[in-house]
Structure 1
Amino acid sequence: MSRTYIITGAGSGIGKAAADQLREQGNVVVGVDLRGAEIECDLGTSAGRQQAAADALAMTGGKVDAVIASAGISHPVPATIAVNYFGAVEFLEAVRPALAESDAPRAVVVSSMSSLQPQHTPLTEAMLAGDEPASLDIAAQLAQDPRAGGLIYASSKRALSRWVRRESIASDWAGAGIPLNAVAPGIVLTPMTADLVGNDESRAFVDAVVPMPLNYHQPPESIASLLIWLASAENSHCAGQTIYCDGGSDVVLRGEDAWSWADERVGEYFAKVMGGAQ
Protein backbone atom coordinates (compact mmCIF):
# COMPACT_ATOMS: atom_id res chain seq x y z
CA MET A 1 0.00 0.00 0.00
CA SER A 2 1.35 3.40 -0.97
CA ARG A 3 2.07 5.83 1.88
CA THR A 4 2.77 9.56 1.90
CA TYR A 5 6.06 10.75 3.37
CA ILE A 6 7.54 14.17 4.09
CA ILE A 7 11.34 14.13 4.31
CA THR A 8 13.50 17.06 5.40
CA GLY A 9 17.04 17.11 4.07
CA ALA A 10 15.83 15.31 0.95
CA GLY A 11 18.14 17.22 -1.39
CA SER A 12 21.23 15.16 -0.62
CA GLY A 13 22.80 12.49 1.55
CA ILE A 14 20.67 10.34 3.83
CA GLY A 15 17.45 12.20 3.11
CA LYS A 16 17.84 11.81 -0.64
CA ALA A 17 18.67 8.12 -0.26
CA ALA A 18 15.50 7.59 1.78
CA ALA A 19 13.39 9.59 -0.67
CA ASP A 20 14.76 7.63 -3.63
CA GLN A 21 14.07 4.26 -1.98
CA LEU A 22 10.55 5.23 -0.98
CA ARG A 23 9.69 6.51 -4.45
CA GLU A 24 11.04 3.30 -6.00
CA GLN A 25 8.62 1.42 -3.73
CA GLY A 26 5.71 3.43 -5.15
CA ASN A 27 5.21 5.85 -2.27
CA VAL A 28 4.44 9.57 -2.46
CA VAL A 29 7.35 11.66 -1.17
CA VAL A 30 7.54 15.41 -0.64
CA GLY A 31 11.10 16.54 -0.01
CA VAL A 32 12.07 19.62 1.99
CA ASP A 33 15.52 21.16 1.79
CA LEU A 34 17.42 24.38 1.27
CA ARG A 35 17.74 23.40 -2.38
CA GLY A 36 17.13 20.41 -4.64
CA ALA A 37 13.75 19.38 -3.20
CA GLU A 38 10.06 19.96 -3.89
CA ILE A 39 9.89 22.46 -1.01
CA GLU A 40 12.90 24.77 -0.82
CA CYS A 41 13.18 26.54 2.51
CA ASP A 42 15.47 27.46 5.38
CA LEU A 43 14.86 25.28 8.43
CA GLY A 44 17.25 27.51 10.35
CA THR A 45 14.46 29.99 11.09
CA SER A 46 11.07 29.58 12.75
CA ALA A 47 9.35 31.31 9.82
CA GLY A 48 11.07 28.96 7.39
CA ARG A 49 10.02 25.89 9.37
CA GLN A 50 6.41 26.94 9.62
CA GLN A 51 6.24 27.83 5.92
CA ALA A 52 7.91 24.57 4.96
CA ALA A 53 5.42 22.57 7.00
CA ALA A 54 2.48 24.46 5.53
CA ASP A 55 3.79 24.09 1.97
CA ALA A 56 4.53 20.39 2.40
CA LEU A 57 1.06 19.67 3.75
CA ALA A 58 -0.49 21.73 0.97
CA MET A 59 1.40 19.63 -1.56
CA THR A 60 0.11 16.39 0.00
CA GLY A 61 -3.44 17.67 0.32
CA GLY A 62 -3.10 17.68 4.10
CA LYS A 63 -2.34 13.95 4.22
CA VAL A 64 0.87 12.53 5.66
CA ASP A 65 1.62 9.05 6.96
CA ALA A 66 5.21 9.54 8.07
CA VAL A 67 7.83 12.23 8.54
CA ILE A 68 11.58 11.63 8.31
CA ALA A 69 13.53 14.61 9.67
CA SER A 70 17.05 14.21 8.33
CA ALA A 71 18.07 17.81 7.58
CA GLY A 72 21.25 18.78 9.38
CA ILE A 73 24.61 20.55 9.22
CA SER A 74 27.82 19.94 11.13
CA HIS A 75 29.59 23.30 11.19
CA PRO A 76 30.80 24.73 14.55
CA VAL A 77 28.41 27.67 14.29
CA PRO A 78 25.06 28.65 15.88
CA ALA A 79 23.17 27.72 12.70
CA THR A 80 23.88 24.07 13.52
CA ILE A 81 21.67 24.43 16.59
CA ALA A 82 18.95 26.19 14.60
CA VAL A 83 18.81 23.52 11.90
CA ASN A 84 19.68 20.29 13.72
CA TYR A 85 17.54 20.73 16.81
CA PHE A 86 14.95 23.46 16.36
CA GLY A 87 14.59 22.72 12.64
CA ALA A 88 13.63 19.12 13.41
CA VAL A 89 11.53 19.75 16.51
CA GLU A 90 9.49 22.70 15.27
CA PHE A 91 8.86 21.09 11.89
CA LEU A 92 7.68 17.85 13.49
CA GLU A 93 5.42 19.70 15.89
CA ALA A 94 3.96 21.72 13.02
CA VAL A 95 2.96 18.64 11.02
CA ARG A 96 2.03 16.45 14.00
CA PRO A 97 -1.73 17.25 13.96
CA ALA A 98 -2.00 16.18 10.32
CA LEU A 99 0.23 13.17 10.97
CA ALA A 100 -2.05 12.01 13.78
CA GLU A 101 -4.90 11.64 11.26
CA SER A 102 -3.09 8.80 9.47
CA ASP A 103 -4.09 5.19 10.10
CA ALA A 104 -0.42 4.38 10.79
CA PRO A 105 1.44 7.60 11.62
CA ARG A 106 5.20 7.49 12.16
CA ALA A 107 8.00 9.99 12.85
CA VAL A 108 11.75 9.47 12.88
CA VAL A 109 14.71 11.84 13.09
CA VAL A 110 18.39 11.55 12.28
CA SER A 111 20.56 11.98 15.37
CA SER A 112 24.24 10.94 15.44
CA MET A 113 26.71 8.82 17.34
CA SER A 114 28.07 12.25 18.32
CA SER A 115 25.24 12.27 20.85
CA LEU A 116 27.56 10.00 22.88
CA GLN A 117 30.50 12.39 22.66
CA PRO A 118 31.34 15.35 24.95
CA GLN A 119 28.66 18.04 24.84
CA HIS A 120 27.96 21.38 26.50
CA THR A 121 25.33 20.84 29.19
CA PRO A 122 24.03 24.45 29.39
CA LEU A 123 23.54 24.46 25.61
CA THR A 124 21.80 21.08 25.62
CA GLU A 125 19.50 22.13 28.45
CA ALA A 126 18.64 25.42 26.74
CA MET A 127 17.57 23.52 23.63
CA LEU A 128 15.46 21.10 25.64
CA ALA A 129 13.83 24.06 27.37
CA GLY A 130 12.79 25.33 23.92
CA ASP A 131 14.78 28.56 24.31
CA GLU A 132 16.17 29.14 20.84
CA PRO A 133 17.58 32.69 21.46
CA ALA A 134 19.51 31.49 24.53
CA SER A 135 20.70 28.40 22.67
CA LEU A 136 22.01 30.49 19.79
CA ASP A 137 23.74 32.87 22.19
CA ILE A 138 25.51 30.01 23.96
CA ALA A 139 26.53 28.47 20.65
CA ALA A 140 27.89 31.81 19.46
CA GLN A 141 30.08 31.99 22.55
CA LEU A 142 31.35 28.44 21.99
CA ALA A 143 32.05 29.18 18.34
CA GLN A 144 34.58 31.83 19.32
CA ASP A 145 36.92 29.13 20.67
CA PRO A 146 37.98 26.50 18.10
CA ARG A 147 38.45 23.99 20.93
CA ALA A 148 34.86 24.44 22.10
CA GLY A 149 33.17 24.81 18.73
CA GLY A 150 32.99 21.07 18.24
CA LEU A 151 30.65 20.82 21.21
CA ILE A 152 27.91 22.57 19.22
CA TYR A 153 27.20 19.66 16.88
CA ALA A 154 27.40 17.02 19.60
CA SER A 155 25.09 19.07 21.82
CA SER A 156 22.54 19.46 19.03
CA LYS A 157 22.38 15.70 18.56
CA ARG A 158 22.36 14.91 22.28
CA ALA A 159 19.44 17.30 22.74
CA LEU A 160 17.61 15.82 19.75
CA SER A 161 17.92 12.26 21.06
CA ARG A 162 16.81 13.38 24.51
CA TRP A 163 13.83 15.24 23.03
CA VAL A 164 12.80 12.11 21.14
CA ARG A 165 13.05 10.03 24.30
CA ARG A 166 11.15 12.58 26.40
CA GLU A 167 8.35 13.29 23.94
CA SER A 168 7.88 9.77 22.58
CA ILE A 169 5.69 8.67 25.51
CA ALA A 170 3.69 11.90 25.74
CA SER A 171 0.02 12.18 24.83
CA ASP A 172 0.82 14.05 21.61
CA TRP A 173 2.95 11.18 20.33
CA ALA A 174 2.44 7.76 21.96
CA GLY A 175 -0.99 8.86 23.11
CA ALA A 176 -1.88 9.65 19.50
CA GLY A 177 -0.50 6.34 18.25
CA ILE A 178 2.62 7.89 16.69
CA PRO A 179 5.91 6.03 17.22
CA LEU A 180 8.68 8.64 17.53
CA ASN A 181 12.28 7.44 17.21
CA ALA A 182 15.78 8.39 16.07
CA VAL A 183 18.64 6.81 14.17
CA ALA A 184 22.24 7.66 15.04
CA PRO A 185 24.74 7.07 12.22
CA GLY A 186 28.50 6.92 12.40
CA ILE A 187 30.51 8.41 9.54
CA VAL A 188 28.23 8.39 6.51
CA LEU A 189 29.78 9.05 3.11
CA THR A 190 27.83 12.13 2.04
CA PRO A 191 28.75 15.64 0.86
CA MET A 192 28.63 16.77 4.51
CA THR A 193 31.49 14.44 5.48
CA ALA A 194 33.59 14.74 2.32
CA ASP A 195 36.12 17.09 3.92
CA LEU A 196 36.36 14.92 7.05
CA VAL A 197 37.51 11.86 5.13
CA GLY A 198 39.16 13.66 2.22
CA ASN A 199 42.79 13.24 3.32
CA ASP A 200 44.82 10.82 5.43
CA GLU A 201 45.35 13.17 8.39
CA SER A 202 41.73 14.17 8.75
CA ARG A 203 40.54 10.62 8.20
CA ALA A 204 42.86 9.31 10.92
CA PHE A 205 41.45 11.84 13.39
CA VAL A 206 37.87 10.94 12.46
CA ASP A 207 38.58 7.24 12.86
CA ALA A 208 40.02 7.87 16.32
CA VAL A 209 36.93 9.69 17.60
CA VAL A 210 34.38 7.66 15.63
CA PRO A 211 35.64 4.06 15.74
CA MET A 212 33.67 1.82 13.36
CA PRO A 213 34.93 -1.79 13.63
CA LEU A 214 32.02 -3.16 11.55
CA ASN A 215 32.36 -2.40 7.81
CA TYR A 216 33.98 1.04 8.40
CA HIS A 217 32.40 4.19 6.91
CA GLN A 218 28.85 3.66 5.74
CA PRO A 219 26.81 4.57 2.67
CA PRO A 220 23.69 6.71 3.17
CA GLU A 221 21.53 3.78 2.12
CA SER A 222 22.49 1.93 5.32
CA ILE A 223 20.73 4.65 7.33
CA ALA A 224 17.93 5.24 4.85
CA SER A 225 16.77 1.62 5.06
CA LEU A 226 16.53 1.79 8.86
CA LEU A 227 14.71 5.12 8.74
CA ILE A 228 12.24 3.65 6.28
CA TRP A 229 11.46 0.69 8.55
CA LEU A 230 10.98 2.94 11.57
CA ALA A 231 8.65 5.09 9.45
CA SER A 232 6.71 2.08 8.16
CA ALA A 233 3.40 0.65 9.34
CA GLU A 234 5.29 -2.45 10.51
CA ASN A 235 6.89 -0.47 13.34
CA SER A 236 4.07 -0.52 15.85
CA HIS A 237 5.87 -0.50 19.22
CA CYS A 238 9.37 0.96 18.91
CA ALA A 239 9.18 4.25 20.82
CA GLY A 240 11.70 6.81 22.07
CA GLN A 241 14.72 4.90 20.84
CA THR A 242 17.93 6.22 19.37
CA ILE A 243 19.17 3.28 17.34
CA TYR A 244 22.92 3.47 16.83
CA CYS A 245 23.58 2.27 13.29
CA ASP A 246 27.24 3.26 13.54
CA GLY A 247 29.49 0.32 12.77
CA GLY A 248 29.95 -0.38 16.49
CA SER A 249 30.94 3.08 17.73
CA ASP A 250 28.36 2.99 20.52
CA VAL A 251 29.77 -0.26 21.91
CA VAL A 252 33.38 0.91 21.66
CA LEU A 253 32.56 4.13 23.53
CA ARG A 254 30.09 2.85 26.14
CA GLY A 255 31.32 -0.71 26.57
CA GLU A 256 29.38 -3.92 26.96
CA ASP A 257 27.30 -2.78 29.95
CA ALA A 258 25.04 0.11 28.98
CA TRP A 259 22.42 -0.71 31.61
CA SER A 260 23.86 -0.76 35.14
CA TRP A 261 23.95 3.02 35.49
CA ALA A 262 20.15 3.00 35.60
CA ASP A 263 19.69 0.12 38.05
CA GLU A 264 19.05 2.39 41.03
CA ARG A 265 16.41 4.42 39.20
CA VAL A 266 14.67 1.33 37.83
CA GLY A 267 14.72 -0.21 41.30
CA GLU A 268 13.10 2.90 42.75
CA TYR A 269 10.39 2.75 40.08
CA PHE A 270 9.55 -0.88 40.79
CA ALA A 271 9.60 -0.28 44.53
CA LYS A 272 7.08 2.50 44.03
CA VAL A 273 4.87 0.37 41.78
CA MET A 274 4.97 -2.66 44.04
CA GLY A 275 4.45 -0.54 47.12
CA GLY A 276 1.37 1.02 45.60
CA ALA A 277 0.02 -2.41 44.70
CA GLN A 278 0.02 -3.60 48.30
Structure 2
Amino acid sequence: MSTNLKGKAIAVTGAASGIGRATAKMLAERGAILAIADLNGEALETVVSELKSSGAVVTGTVLDVRDAKKVEEWITDIVERDGRLDGAANLAGVIGPSTGISLIEDYPYSEFEFILDVNMKGIFNCLQRGGEGQKLASIVNMASVAGAIGMARNCAYVASKHAVVGLTKSAAKECGGCGVRVNAIAPGVIDTPMVRGLDTEIKDINIERTVSVMPMNRLGKPEEVAEVVCWLLCEGSSFVTGSVHTVDGGWMA
Protein backbone atom coordinates (compact mmCIF):
# COMPACT_ATOMS: atom_id res chain seq x y z
CA MET A 1 0.00 0.00 0.00
CA SER A 2 1.47 3.32 -1.06
CA THR A 3 1.98 5.91 1.66
CA ASN A 4 4.33 8.09 -0.37
CA LEU A 5 3.93 11.79 0.36
CA LYS A 6 7.39 12.96 -0.66
CA GLY A 7 7.25 16.27 -2.48
CA LYS A 8 3.49 16.66 -2.02
CA ALA A 9 2.35 20.19 -1.15
CA ILE A 10 -0.06 19.86 1.78
CA ALA A 11 -1.87 22.44 3.89
CA VAL A 12 -2.79 21.77 7.52
CA THR A 13 -4.95 23.93 9.79
CA GLY A 14 -5.02 23.58 13.56
CA ALA A 15 -1.37 22.53 13.36
CA ALA A 16 -0.08 24.10 16.58
CA SER A 17 -1.23 21.38 18.98
CA GLY A 18 -2.87 17.99 19.43
CA ILE A 19 -3.85 16.01 16.34
CA GLY A 20 -2.91 18.85 13.97
CA ARG A 21 0.61 19.04 15.38
CA ALA A 22 1.06 15.27 15.23
CA THR A 23 -0.18 15.27 11.63
CA ALA A 24 2.18 18.06 10.57
CA LYS A 25 5.11 16.23 12.14
CA MET A 26 4.20 12.93 10.46
CA LEU A 27 3.69 14.56 7.06
CA ALA A 28 7.09 16.26 7.39
CA GLU A 29 8.75 12.96 8.26
CA ARG A 30 7.28 11.50 5.08
CA GLY A 31 8.68 14.25 2.90
CA ALA A 32 5.68 16.53 2.34
CA ILE A 33 6.09 20.24 1.62
CA LEU A 34 4.04 21.82 4.38
CA ALA A 35 2.01 24.98 4.82
CA ILE A 36 0.65 24.94 8.36
CA ALA A 37 -1.69 27.36 10.06
CA ASP A 38 -3.17 28.04 13.47
CA LEU A 39 -4.68 30.94 15.41
CA ASN A 40 -2.13 30.49 18.22
CA GLY A 41 0.88 32.26 16.77
CA GLU A 42 3.31 31.46 19.56
CA ALA A 43 2.57 27.74 19.55
CA LEU A 44 2.64 27.70 15.74
CA GLU A 45 6.08 29.31 15.70
CA THR A 46 7.35 26.56 18.00
CA VAL A 47 6.05 23.84 15.69
CA VAL A 48 7.54 25.51 12.60
CA SER A 49 10.90 25.79 14.35
CA GLU A 50 10.81 22.12 15.40
CA LEU A 51 9.95 20.96 11.90
CA LYS A 52 12.58 23.12 10.22
CA SER A 53 15.23 21.85 12.63
CA SER A 54 14.42 18.33 11.47
CA GLY A 55 14.98 19.34 7.85
CA ALA A 56 11.35 19.81 6.82
CA VAL A 57 10.21 22.32 4.20
CA VAL A 58 7.49 24.25 6.05
CA THR A 59 5.89 27.67 6.31
CA GLY A 60 3.60 28.81 9.12
CA THR A 61 0.74 31.30 8.96
CA VAL A 62 -1.36 32.69 11.79
CA LEU A 63 -4.88 32.11 10.52
CA ASP A 64 -8.45 32.41 11.77
CA VAL A 65 -10.35 29.86 9.68
CA ARG A 66 -13.57 31.80 10.31
CA ASP A 67 -12.27 34.54 8.00
CA ALA A 68 -13.04 33.40 4.45
CA LYS A 69 -10.91 36.14 2.87
CA LYS A 70 -7.86 35.25 4.95
CA VAL A 71 -8.31 31.56 4.13
CA GLU A 72 -8.45 32.40 0.42
CA GLU A 73 -5.31 34.55 0.68
CA TRP A 74 -3.48 31.76 2.52
CA ILE A 75 -4.33 29.14 -0.09
CA THR A 76 -3.48 31.53 -2.95
CA ASP A 77 -0.08 32.17 -1.37
CA ILE A 78 0.57 28.42 -1.10
CA VAL A 79 -0.22 27.83 -4.77
CA GLU A 80 1.86 30.81 -5.91
CA ARG A 81 4.82 29.64 -3.83
CA ASP A 82 4.68 25.87 -4.40
CA GLY A 83 2.98 25.85 -7.79
CA ARG A 84 0.17 23.59 -6.62
CA LEU A 85 -1.71 22.20 -3.64
CA ASP A 86 -1.86 18.41 -3.53
CA GLY A 87 -3.74 17.92 -0.29
CA ALA A 88 -5.34 19.60 2.70
CA ALA A 89 -6.02 18.51 6.26
CA ASN A 90 -8.66 20.80 7.75
CA LEU A 91 -8.11 20.03 11.42
CA ALA A 92 -8.78 23.30 13.27
CA GLY A 93 -11.49 22.92 15.91
CA VAL A 94 -12.68 24.00 19.35
CA ILE A 95 -14.74 22.78 22.29
CA GLY A 96 -16.43 25.50 24.36
CA PRO A 97 -16.34 25.98 28.14
CA SER A 98 -20.04 25.13 28.45
CA THR A 99 -19.46 21.61 27.10
CA GLY A 100 -20.45 19.10 29.75
CA ILE A 101 -22.27 21.79 31.73
CA SER A 102 -25.07 23.55 29.87
CA LEU A 103 -28.31 22.07 28.56
CA ILE A 104 -29.64 23.38 25.25
CA GLU A 105 -32.04 25.70 27.06
CA ASP A 106 -29.16 27.31 28.95
CA TYR A 107 -26.42 27.17 26.32
CA PRO A 108 -24.86 30.62 25.69
CA TYR A 109 -25.73 31.69 22.15
CA SER A 110 -22.41 33.45 21.63
CA GLU A 111 -20.53 30.25 22.46
CA PHE A 112 -22.81 28.14 20.24
CA GLU A 113 -22.17 30.53 17.37
CA PHE A 114 -18.40 30.56 17.97
CA ILE A 115 -18.12 26.76 17.97
CA LEU A 116 -20.10 26.43 14.74
CA ASP A 117 -18.12 29.26 13.15
CA VAL A 118 -14.80 27.51 13.82
CA ASN A 119 -15.73 23.85 13.45
CA MET A 120 -18.23 24.04 10.61
CA LYS A 121 -17.82 27.38 8.81
CA GLY A 122 -14.05 27.12 9.10
CA ILE A 123 -14.09 23.84 7.19
CA PHE A 124 -16.60 25.27 4.71
CA ASN A 125 -14.20 28.16 4.04
CA CYS A 126 -11.28 25.78 3.50
CA LEU A 127 -13.34 23.57 1.19
CA GLN A 128 -14.70 26.47 -0.83
CA ARG A 129 -11.48 28.44 -1.17
CA GLY A 130 -9.30 25.36 -1.60
CA GLY A 131 -11.15 24.38 -4.74
CA GLU A 132 -10.66 27.64 -6.58
CA GLY A 133 -8.28 26.89 -9.42
CA GLN A 134 -6.67 23.97 -7.63
CA LYS A 135 -6.90 20.25 -8.27
CA LEU A 136 -6.28 18.78 -4.87
CA ALA A 137 -5.83 15.03 -4.78
CA SER A 138 -7.26 14.66 -1.28
CA ILE A 139 -8.97 16.66 1.44
CA VAL A 140 -9.39 15.44 5.01
CA ASN A 141 -11.81 17.14 7.41
CA MET A 142 -11.91 16.94 11.20
CA ALA A 143 -15.19 15.40 12.34
CA SER A 144 -15.60 13.38 15.56
CA VAL A 145 -17.53 10.48 17.02
CA ALA A 146 -19.77 13.34 18.15
CA GLY A 147 -20.71 13.68 14.48
CA ALA A 148 -22.49 10.33 14.60
CA ILE A 149 -24.34 10.40 17.94
CA GLY A 150 -26.02 12.80 20.31
CA MET A 151 -24.37 13.86 23.57
CA ALA A 152 -26.13 15.57 26.45
CA ARG A 153 -24.78 18.98 27.49
CA ASN A 154 -22.75 19.13 24.30
CA CYS A 155 -25.16 20.55 21.73
CA ALA A 156 -22.85 23.00 19.95
CA TYR A 157 -19.91 20.66 19.42
CA VAL A 158 -22.17 17.77 18.39
CA ALA A 159 -24.09 19.96 15.95
CA SER A 160 -20.87 21.28 14.44
CA LYS A 161 -19.44 17.81 13.90
CA HIS A 162 -22.65 16.49 12.35
CA ALA A 163 -22.35 19.44 9.96
CA VAL A 164 -18.76 18.50 9.10
CA VAL A 165 -19.89 14.98 8.18
CA GLY A 166 -22.59 16.43 5.92
CA LEU A 167 -20.16 18.86 4.27
CA THR A 168 -17.67 16.07 3.69
CA LYS A 169 -20.17 13.77 2.02
CA SER A 170 -21.63 16.57 -0.10
CA ALA A 171 -18.19 17.73 -1.22
CA ALA A 172 -17.21 14.17 -2.12
CA LYS A 173 -20.29 13.89 -4.37
CA GLU A 174 -19.42 17.17 -6.07
CA CYS A 175 -15.68 16.59 -6.48
CA GLY A 176 -15.51 12.93 -7.43
CA GLY A 177 -15.57 13.56 -11.16
CA CYS A 178 -12.67 15.99 -10.84
CA GLY A 179 -10.41 13.42 -9.22
CA VAL A 180 -10.59 15.10 -5.83
CA ARG A 181 -11.30 12.90 -2.81
CA VAL A 182 -12.92 14.28 0.35
CA ASN A 183 -13.02 12.28 3.57
CA ALA A 184 -13.31 12.90 7.30
CA ILE A 185 -11.78 11.49 10.44
CA ALA A 186 -13.85 10.91 13.57
CA PRO A 187 -11.58 10.68 16.62
CA GLY A 188 -12.85 9.40 19.91
CA VAL A 189 -11.18 10.27 23.21
CA ILE A 190 -7.67 11.33 22.22
CA ASP A 191 -4.97 12.50 24.63
CA THR A 192 -4.80 16.14 23.55
CA PRO A 193 -4.79 19.42 25.53
CA MET A 194 -8.36 20.10 24.35
CA VAL A 195 -9.65 16.78 25.67
CA ARG A 196 -7.68 17.03 28.91
CA GLY A 197 -9.27 20.43 29.47
CA LEU A 198 -12.72 18.82 29.58
CA ASP A 199 -11.92 16.53 32.51
CA THR A 200 -12.92 18.66 35.50
CA GLU A 201 -15.15 18.11 38.49
CA ILE A 202 -17.69 20.70 37.41
CA LYS A 203 -18.33 19.15 33.98
CA ASP A 204 -20.57 16.18 33.21
CA ILE A 205 -17.57 14.57 31.50
CA ASN A 206 -15.14 12.08 32.98
CA ILE A 207 -12.38 10.73 30.77
CA GLU A 208 -11.61 7.70 32.92
CA ARG A 209 -15.28 6.70 32.99
CA THR A 210 -15.56 7.05 29.23
CA VAL A 211 -12.37 5.08 28.60
CA SER A 212 -13.53 2.29 30.91
CA VAL A 213 -16.38 1.33 28.56
CA MET A 214 -14.20 1.33 25.43
CA PRO A 215 -12.93 -2.02 24.11
CA MET A 216 -9.30 -0.84 24.07
CA ASN A 217 -9.66 0.75 27.51
CA ARG A 218 -7.27 3.66 26.96
CA LEU A 219 -6.95 7.12 25.49
CA GLY A 220 -5.93 7.36 21.88
CA LYS A 221 -2.69 9.03 20.87
CA PRO A 222 -2.63 12.00 18.47
CA GLU A 223 -0.19 10.05 16.31
CA GLU A 224 -2.73 7.25 15.89
CA VAL A 225 -5.15 9.72 14.33
CA ALA A 226 -2.40 11.32 12.28
CA GLU A 227 -1.65 7.94 10.69
CA VAL A 228 -5.19 7.81 9.32
CA VAL A 229 -4.98 11.39 8.05
CA CYS A 230 -1.72 10.62 6.24
CA TRP A 231 -3.22 7.51 4.68
CA LEU A 232 -6.23 9.45 3.41
CA LEU A 233 -3.90 12.08 1.91
CA CYS A 234 -1.74 9.57 0.06
CA GLU A 235 -2.28 7.49 -3.07
CA GLY A 236 -2.81 4.36 -1.01
CA SER A 237 -6.41 5.51 -0.41
CA SER A 238 -7.04 6.39 -4.06
CA PHE A 239 -10.51 4.80 -4.19
CA VAL A 240 -11.71 6.18 -0.85
CA THR A 241 -13.97 9.24 -0.78
CA GLY A 242 -17.03 10.44 1.09
CA SER A 243 -16.13 8.29 4.08
CA VAL A 244 -15.86 9.02 7.79
CA HIS A 245 -13.10 7.06 9.52
CA THR A 246 -13.52 6.52 13.24
CA VAL A 247 -10.35 6.38 15.32
CA ASP A 248 -11.87 5.65 18.69
CA GLY A 249 -10.53 2.43 20.21
CA GLY A 250 -13.81 0.69 19.44
CA TRP A 251 -16.02 3.16 21.30
CA MET A 252 -18.58 3.26 18.48
CA ALA A 253 -18.47 -0.49 17.77
Smaller-chain TM-score range? 0.7 to 0.9
Report the TM-score, using the length of structure 2 for normalisation. 0.77
Selected match of 2:121 from 56, 80, 86: 86
Selected match of 2:130 from 86, 91, 95: 95
Unaligned runs of 5+ in 2: 1-5, 46-59, 99-110
1:196–1:202 CA contact under 8 A, matched in 2: no
**Displacement over 6 Å in runs of 4+:** 199-202
Matched with 1:250 is 252
Matched with 1:32 is 37
Q: Distance in 1 between matches of 2:147 and 2:124?
A: 16
1:15–1:70 CA contact under 8 A, matched in 2: yes
Q: Deviations over 1:89-125 (max 9, x none)?
A: 211221123441x5xx111111000112327xxxxxx
Selected match of 1:3 from 8, 13, 23: 8
Unaligned runs of 5+ in 1: 120-146, 252-278
User: What is the Cα deviation at residue 18 of structure 1?
Assistant: 0.7
- Counterpart of 1:154 in 2: which secondary structure? helix
| Percentage of identical aligned residues | 25
Q: Distance in 1 between matches of 2:115 and 2:202?
A: 26
Label 1:3 to 1:17 Cα distance change in 2 as closer, same or farther (>3 A).
same
Matched with 1:144 is none
Matched with 2:93 is 72
Higher helix share: 1
Matched with 2:180 is 178
Higher RCO (Cα < 8 Å, 6 or more apart): 2
2:10–2:32 CA contact under 8 A, matched in 1: yes
Label 1:84 to 1:164 Cα distance change in 2 as closer, same or farther (>3 A).
same
Matched with 2:50 is none
Label 1:98 to 1:223 Cα distance change in 2 as closer, same or farther (>3 A).
farther
- Counterpart of 2:132 in 1: which secondary structure? helix
1:211–1:248 CA contact under 8 A, matched in 2: no
Q: Distance in 1 between matches of 2:217 and 2:7?
A: 33
Q: Deviations over 1:58-112 (max 9, x none)?
A: 4x43411110010000115121111111101211221123441x5xx11111100
Q: Distance in 1 between matches of 2:246 and 2:126?
A: 23
Q: Distance in 2 between matches of 1:176 and 1:207?
A: 45
Structural RMSD (CA): 2.5
User: What is the Cα deviation at residue 247 of structure 1?
Assistant: 1.1
> Which has the higher mean CA deviation after the structures are superposed, 228-237 or 187-196?
187-196
Report the TM-score, using the length of structure 1 for normalisation. 0.71
**Structure 2 residue identity aligned to 1:27:** A
- Counterpart of 1:86 in 2: which secondary structure? helix
Matched with 1:41 is 63
Matched with 1:57 is 79
- Counterpart of 1:160 in 2: which secondary structure? helix
The count of corresponding residues between Structure 1 and Structure 2 is 217
Matched with 2:233 is 231
